[in-house]
Amino acid sequence: MTYQSPLLSRHGAVEAGGLDAGVAAHYGDPLREQRELARGNAVTDLSHRGVVTVTGPDRLSWLNTLSSQNVTNLQPGESSELLLLSVQGRIEHDARLVDDGAAAWLIVEAAEAPALAEFLQRMKFMLRVEVADVSADWAVAGTTSAVPEWSGYRSWTDPWPNVGPGGFAYSVVPEDSHPGRDRPWQEYLIPASELEQAVEASGRSLAGTMASEALRIAAWRPRLGAETDEKTIPHELDLIRTAVHLAKGCYKGQETIARVHNLGHPPRRLVFLQLDGSQHTLPAPGSAVLLGERRIGTVTSVAQHYEMGAVALAVIKRSADPSVQLVVDDDGEPYAAAQETIVAPDAGAVVGRATGFLRTPRP
């Protein structure tokens, strides 16, 4: 059964498509909603998100052995992000994690929850853990500032763009001036039956996913299913900074993580694009990114930002010159695109690196 948020009945609500089907893209005024969300005066309905719980005394040590992140000593209420990788180090699941002292709560993309729960069930063996897909019972709502009226609900705080313990920054921008600083982000877990009441009690307006996506893109924050494909490794998206602990024990995919980080380079890199907005249209995700006549990548996310205009994220070949202007080709419709480096062209190969702009790992 296809999910439909009860908030789609609100005046002006227009349903989103793609990854955000089932909730509102906007409620009639996308740019105003975006401004209010950026100012902390609005909340976004993300109730289509998947929610998986892991309970039992072994839950954190078990998740630690399976994932890229060190979560063994995660404290109640503390937020983290973890990846589950293939043997080749490719991203299979990206989960937002918060533990409440009795259960680990994993917030994932809508289509991801069943597959994640099934995978975790297969990996239980004799450990004292129980896994449940509770997506039908819980709703998620996002905001850029804490909601005092929701203090009784569990919440996850996005670690982006902080470089976490054991993490490493692949971008050229210093941590304290990273554009992600302009987007503090929290996601609240609300019983599905209380979603409408909770929104009313918050005293805040609603902003659609067009607003939250624009802020995400401007913050250079990658998203599973948008910036990823079947070949994506964490290095390409700067996810080593928040979702990977480079000094933790063995887990599936660790060999690729270590090899690329220490000795090699990721084959692709994430870039931010400032698009020519004179056409008053936006290219579609999946549009080709061209350097001259040669295709070097793909647009992954696009939005109209309330201050910057037309913006996008794209994944391109690592070797592409970061100083040149690119062109986005949407089925024959060209858009000039000025690129801003997110992942450095020489990212990786840190062994023997005497100097450089890449940040050293956090202990």
Side chain identity, residue 312: A
- Which residues are bridge partners to 198 per DSSP? none
Q: How far apart are CA 143 and CA 120, in angstroms?
A: 29
Side chain identity, residue 127: L
| List of residues 6+ apart from 232 with CB closer than 8 A | 90, 91, 315
> Average pLDDT of 101-115?
98
> Average pLDDT of 302-314?
97
Its pTM stands at: 0.95
Task: Express each pLDDT in 90-99 by its tens digit.
Answer: 999 999 999 9
Output the 3-class SS for 273-288: EEECCCCCCCCCCCCE
Instruction: Give the distance between the most distant pair of CA atoms in the chain.
Output: 61
Cα distances (angstroms) measured from residue 319 to each of 45, 220, 323, 324 = 39, 20, 12, 12
Domains and CATH numbers, the chain: 6-218 (3.30.1360.120), 267-342 (2.40.30.110)
In whole numbers, what is the pLDDT of the chain averaged over residues?
95
- Of 34, 15, 76, 69, nearest to 311 by C-alpha is 34
* E strand or H helix that includes residue 84: strand 79-85
Q: How far apart are CA 256 and CA 213, in angstroms?
A: 30
Is residue 126 over pLDDT 90? no
Tell me what pLDDT residue 277 has.
Answer: 83
Task: Give the SS3 label for residue 247.
Answer: coil
- For the record, the structure tokens of 193 come out as 């039956």
- Which residues are bridge partners to 96 per DSSP? 81, 107
| List of residues 6+ apart from 203 with CB closer than 8 A | 149
Tell me what pLDDT residue 172 has.
Answer: 85
Task: Express each pLDDT in 319-339 by its tens digit.
Answer: 999 999 999 999 999 999 999
Side chain identity, residue 218: A
Is residue 251 over pLDDT 50? yes
Task: Express each pLDDT in 47-64 by its tens digit.
Answer: 999 999 999 999 999 999
Q: How far apart are CA 349 and CA 347, in angstroms?
A: 7
- Of 122, 63, 88, nearest to 252 by C-alpha is 88
